[in-house]
Amino acid sequence: MATISSEYLGSLRTQAVHARSGNTILTDAPPDNNGKGEAFSPTDLLCSALCSCMMTIMGILAEREKIDLKGLKADVVKVMAENPRKVKEVQIAFTHSGLNATSDQKEKLKRAALTCPVALSLSDSLTQTVTFDF
């Protein structure tokens, strides 16, 4: 059984359905690639997946270390290459204004983020620029 079912809806829009939960994700091509830009683009989802994976792995470590990670935020910037058209860089800036953690725990959180499964699955040609302000 598939874990995700996807369908092309026309007009450069797709819908993916998560089999277990029924949650859906719509994508649209961006305006600079003939789309409407009314939803995440597939490359936006790639960048979002990287950020979410990093946050999740940091969350697992935080629970183990008894660190309250609630309130962790991130801003994500996608940088595209033109020829061939692909994501060439993902910039992620993590911030947490009141993180109560030791210096050692903060370093563990950073290492956890940078070695999350999505980060390790992406091509070495995609630059991952990640900063931490906590």
- 3-state SS of 45-86 is HHHHHHHHHHHHHHHHHHHHHCCCCCCCEEEEEEEEEECCEE
pLDDT at 13: 97
Q: What is the pLDDT of residues 45-62, one digit of tens each?
A: 999 999 999 999 999 999
Which CATH number fits the domain that encloses residue 100?
3.30.300.20
Residues β-bridged to residue 133: 95
Domain with 16, as residue range(s), is: 4-33
Task: Give pLDDT tens digits for 1-41.
Answer: 789 999 999 999 999 999 999 999 999 999 999 999 999 99
pLDDT of residue 59: 98
Token output for 64: 């183990």
Q: Are 56 and 69 in contact (CB under 8 A)?
A: no
Residue 18 Cα to chain centre, angstroms: 17
> How far apart are alpha carbons 109 and 106 in whole angstroms?
5
User: Do the strands 73-82 and 24-28 form a parallel or antiparallel pair, or are they unpaired?
Assistant: unpaired
Which amino acid is present at 47? Answer: C
Answering whether pTM is above 0.85, one says: yes
Based on the domain organization, do 51 and 111 belong to the same domain?
Answer: yes
| pLDDT score of 1 | 75
Each residue of 110-123: pLDDT tens digit?
A: 999 999 999 999 99
The total of structural domains in the chain comes to 2
Q: Are residues 102 and 67 in the same domain?
A: yes
**pLDDT tens sequence across 65-124:** 999 999 999 999 999 999 999 999 999 999 999 999 999 999 999 999 999 999 999 999
The closest alpha carbon to 41, from 22, 26, 54, belongs to 26
Shared domain for 27 and 50, answered yes or no, is: no
Residue type (1 letter), 56: T
